[in-house]
Structures are given as structure tokens and as C-alpha cells.
Amino acid sequence: MNKNDIMCCKTFISEVEALALTFRGGVHVPEEKNTEGKAVRLFDSPKTVSIPMSQHIGAPCIPIVKKGDTVDMGQIIGEVKAGLGCPVHASVSGTVIAIEEKRNSMGMAVQNVIIENDGENRISPEVRPYEGSFEELTFEEVVEVVRRAGISGMGGATFPTYAKIQSAKDKVDTLIVNCAECEPYITANHRLLLEEPDTVIGGMKILLRAFGLRVGDIAIEDNKPDAVKLIREKVKGSDFAEVKVLATKYPQGDERQLIYAITGKEIPAGKLPADVGCVVFNAETCASVYRAFVYGMPLIKRIVTVDGDCIADPCSVKCPIGTSYRELIDFCGGCTKEYRYIVNGGPMMGAAQWDIDAPVTKGTSAVLVFSEKVKPVYEQPSACIRCGRCVRACQMRLMPNYIATFSREGKYDLCEQYDVMSCVECGACTYVCPGSVPITQLNRAAKAKINEKRKLMKGGAK
């Protein structure tokens, strides 16, 4: 799309920008959407893939293959024996060359199945499309197909989608497709909407069917006028979808803020979206649901935005789960300068990586590579000057200034009284702090101490 096309789209949406939906708090951060105008590139030939057996909240999978086995694309290679979880599949065809324990971005030891890619792209006989009538789909069938496909929500701490569907049964009257993508740099969902809109819409229709709902909302920020225009054209004249335009603001993509912006409902502390009658699915989750039903293909590939001042040719790439950051970066032309930081996800809530050979997982939305030059310049943290910027920025209506002070002094009981457990760790408070106080990190430390205390108390009560 050229600049004239983008200007036409902006003219098209100008009349609704003034009415764009939003929430209280939040911050405006530089968008850096450098890859929004570039088509997604396919990279399906990594030399090896290292597929973690734990990629979401819940029980880790147990490998059901062994070294020397030949595997096909879409074949189940890891199963959950008990508890919350879904299977993990081979993302390429080839030979299992090792099963090794590696540390993930959170420092936890996780088993990885390492497959040498034979380049043949053989599809497993296990991959079979849904053969029944979509008009007669039952709730249980949707749950089982989604579970077997290994679909989990996109983002940092991913959650198995089938479990989200189960927990919302008979509770919801509003389904929202989250296309906000409010983090700087990331354009994976934006490109998905432009290049594969029918998969997103098709997955939404299946999910509507599961919940017995007639209509759902597709929520898109107003900095994506081309996507708003295209999706509106796709659903024009239909009675199952409404496009809701959101004001561009971080963290608009957070479920709580998204639900408030669209419905005006606030989720009480400790409650889930289903408790206020809502369920939210990411655009790529909807597309994965569609592929699972129509093609029988489980979640084995992910669109990842590769960007940063070090990357020679930034773009969004569709690659197999388990592809190493190194190969992904090389596919984008490599680094033009010495890198200092690698971030999994966006710069606001993403996690710094210490291993360039770490694998892409189901929750990887971006791989950002920065030089020392891009490092934020922080002065020596000062005492809080009571300016109130963090309070205004906090969409959870907390008082981060007090919580950070209490945390620094080790007064975790006071942190708890000031509801630190409701902090979503979005980083907005730290971003706006003129005193360079590491508020988010202090909040995170307080939450960890409180959780540790609760576990000890629970253990002592037994």
C-alpha cells in the first residue's frame, strides 16, 4: 500500500476517529510500526526447530517421540497427561535428533524436542479437516478440535484457548476479536487482517457458533485505517459482526481495557472477562481456529515481527514454531551493527532474551533486536516527586507511586492493601516517570513476595 492509499484510508475513517472508543489512563508511546506496509514473508526452511514442551500456562507436555524418530508436520509430539494443557505438534517434517532440557525466557527448565528439517514438508495423516456441518457444530466439538490443535492465546503468558472457551460456557453475551496490537513495532496482527481477513472472520464465526451468539465485535485501533476499511467491506451486509474503532493508546489491547472501551463494563479484581459476560480472542487465535477446522492444521506456525535498529530488512515473517531467533534474524538480512538487546515481544511488556538461539513459541509476536544506541537513558533513580503522572497513566486506577515506595521499603503488607495484585505490569507508570523510578519492577517484586507469603500460609494451613 502506497502513501496515497493510506491517505485515502485515513480520509475514509476520519469521521469515526472523533468517536473512537477508549479507556481511562494509558499512555501514548511512539508507534514505530516500520513493517506495517510490508507483506508477510514465509520462512519454512529452518535447518532445525527446537520445540518447547511447555508454551502456555498449565501442565507441561510429555514428549511421546524419541531420538531417531521420523516426524511429519502437524504430528503430535507432546501430550499433557493430566491437568490444564494441550498437545504440542511438529512444525516441520524431519528427524528427532535430540530431546534436551533448556531454560526458557522466564528461566525455567523445559524439555525441548529438536527436529532436523528434511525440507519435504510432509503433512501428518493426523491432520484432517472437520468433516461435519459447521451449522450443526456443538460446543463440545469446538472445545475438542481447538484442544487437539494446540491453540493457545497469543502474547506473553499464553493460556490454552480450549480452556478459555470452557470457562466461558453459558456466561457470555459479548464476543470480541482483539485486533488492537498497541505495542510499538509489532504489526503481525495488522498484516494478518490485511492478507488473511477471511481466516480471522471465519474463526470468529465458529466461536460465535460455540457460544450460541448471533453477533460479535471486531476491535481495531484507528491507526490501522486500511484494516478497518477492509474488514468493514468483508462484513458489510452481514448480521454477525460489527467493527468497533478504538482510539490508539497503550495498553488498549489489554482485555480489561478493551472490554471497558467497547462495553463500559469493568472487571472486578480477581474476576475474569466471562464474569462480566465477555470473552476476548486475539485475531491470530481466530485464524488458528479456522485453520484447525477447515484444514485440520494445528498451531505450528506463527507470524512474528522482526524489527529493531539492528535488522537489515525488518518485516513480519511466518515461520514454524521452534525456529531460532538466529535463523529468523538471518532470514531478514542479519544485523547491520552489533546488537546488545534481543526482546521477545514488544518493548513495553516483552521479555529480554539472553540467547539468540532461543526458539519462537506460540506466544512470540515479535523479535526485536536493538543496539546499545537504542538503550533508554535513565538517570540515577530519584525519590518520587509526587507529580502524579503514574497515577494518571495507570488504567487499573492504582496509586503506583505509593506502591513503589512501599515495595522499596519492604512494606509488602501495605503494597497488598494498595491492591498491587491488580497491577498488570504494563509498564506505563515507569514509562512516564520523570524520576526514572523503576515502578513496574518494584510492583513485580512486591507481587512475587506476596505470592510467596500466600503459598507459605496455604502450606502451613494443611
Q: Could you list the mean pLDDT of each consecutive 10-residue stretch along the chain, which spans 462 residues?
A: 51 47 90 96 96 83 95 96 89 97 76 96 96 91 95 72 93 96 95 97 96 96 96 93 94 92 90 94 96 97 96 97 97 95 92 90 94 70 86 94 95 96 93 91 94 83 56
The three cell numbers of residue 409 are 521499603
Sign, Cα dihedral of 9, 11, 13, 17? positive
Give the Cα separation of 211 and 168 in Å (integer).
Answer: 8
Q: Are 350 and 364 in contact (CB under 8 A)?
A: no
Judge residue 147's burial from the number of C-beta atoms within 10 Å of its C-beta, 0-12 exposed, 13-18 middle, 19 or more buried.
buried
Cβ–Cβ under 8 Å, residues 284 and 203: no
Pull the grid cell for residue 368: 526485536
Residue of 230, 210, 126, 234 lying closest to 162 (CA atoms): 210
Residues 6+ apart with CB under 8 A from 357: 50, 324, 325, 326
Fill in the amino acid letter for 41: R
Give me the pLDDT at residue 58, please: 74
CA distances 62 to 54, 323, 408, 439, Å, are 9, 20, 41, 38
Calpha distance 348→236 (Å, rounded): 35
The reported pLDDT for the residue numbered 406 is 96
Set of cell numbers at residue 432:
512516564
Q: Could you tell me the three cell numbers for 206? A: 465458529
| Beta bridge partner(s), residue 116 | 48, 95
Residue with cell 484507528: 222
Residue intervals of the chain classified under CATH 3.40.50.11540 are 3-30+129-294
Residues in contact with 27: Cβ distance below 8 Å, sequence separation at least 6, in sequence order: 249, 250, 393, 428, 431, 432
d(CA 403, CA 409): 10
pLDDT value of residue 5: 55
In whole angstroms, give the CA distance from residue 49 to residue 153. Answer: 21
Domain 3-30+129-294 sits in CATH at 3.40.50.11540
Burial of residue 287 (number of CB atoms within 10 Å: 0-12, 13-18, 19+): buried
Where are the strands (E) in 260-385, listed by range?
A: 278-282, 301-307, 315-320, 341-344, 351-353, 366-370
Closest CA to 339 of 368, 369, 359, 361: 369
What residue type is assigned to position 109 of the chain?
A
pLDDT of res. 10: 47
Q: Which amino acid is at 235?
A: V
Please list the alpha-helical segments (H only) found in 303-366. 325-331
Rg (CA), the chain: 22
- Is-contact 76 88, C-beta < 8 A? yes
- Side by side, which strands form the sheet with 174-179? 241-246, 216-221, 174-179, 278-282
H helices present in 20-155, as ranges: 139-148
Return the ∠ at Cα 370 (arms to 369 and 372), rounded to 5°. Answer: 150
Contact 213, 176 (CB under 8 A): no
CB atoms within 10 A of CB 124: 18
Q: What is the rounded CA–CA span in Å between residue 76 and residue 297? A: 11
